[in-house]
Amino acid sequence: MEQFGVSRSTAREAVRRMESEGIVDVLPHRGAVVRRLTPEEAIDALLVMELCIGLAARFAAERIHKPGNRAAFEAAWSDLQKFEGVPDSFDFVEARNRFHRAITVISGNRELQRILPSIQVHLVRRAYTLPSSARFDDYRRIAHAILAEDSAAAEAAARKHVARIIAVVRQGSADKLVRNRA
């Protein structure tokens, strides 16, 4: 409340909203804690994300030539590139979100624009991530395919990016299983 200068009722409502969206768990006498996804929950979310972001990238490549789309996408891509090779930060997260939002908006598909933000991928990113160089290689492939109006390559690159994160989740689960058996 102090940090953001909001009232107790505003803070309470925000926590209730995050609880209803599955972002936090409210524990009696302990307060709210950010929810941790099980590996299975993370994979479920990522499988939906893989299909949706792949489709959004395909449609974005098909619509990049429409007025304003190329400039908007190039601006989002340019902003994201500034964070290549530097440690992750909140500014990087915002730039990454703008990049993905640009893809979704340019896709022109209202259902994807509704569905994609509701996928709790930020909870997945909290526990699992690709190395920065791999992420930016993927972002570059996605961006170049969209800008080249290559819809098949854009979809494939976007889906491959999410599939790589799924592999990280599966590997992490396998590593944990091996450690627990030892």
pLDDT tens-digit map of 30-58: 777 777 778 898 999 999 999 999 999 99
Q: Is the pLDDT of residue 123 over 90?
A: no
Q: Is the pLDDT of residue 136 over 60?
A: yes
When pLDDT is cut at 50, 70 and 90, the band that residue 177 belongs to is: very low
Per-residue model confidence (pLDDT) at position 175: 56
Please report the domains of the chain, with CATH numbers, ordered by start residue: 1-35 (no CATH), 39-181 (1.20.120.530)
Which of helix, strand or coil describes residue 73? helix
CA nearest to 117, candidates 107, 130, 127: 107
What average pLDDT does the segment 113-119 reach?
91
User: Residues 6 or more apart from 158 whose CB is under 8 A from it?
Assistant: 50, 53, 54, 56, 57, 58, 103, 142
Total-model pTM: 0.80
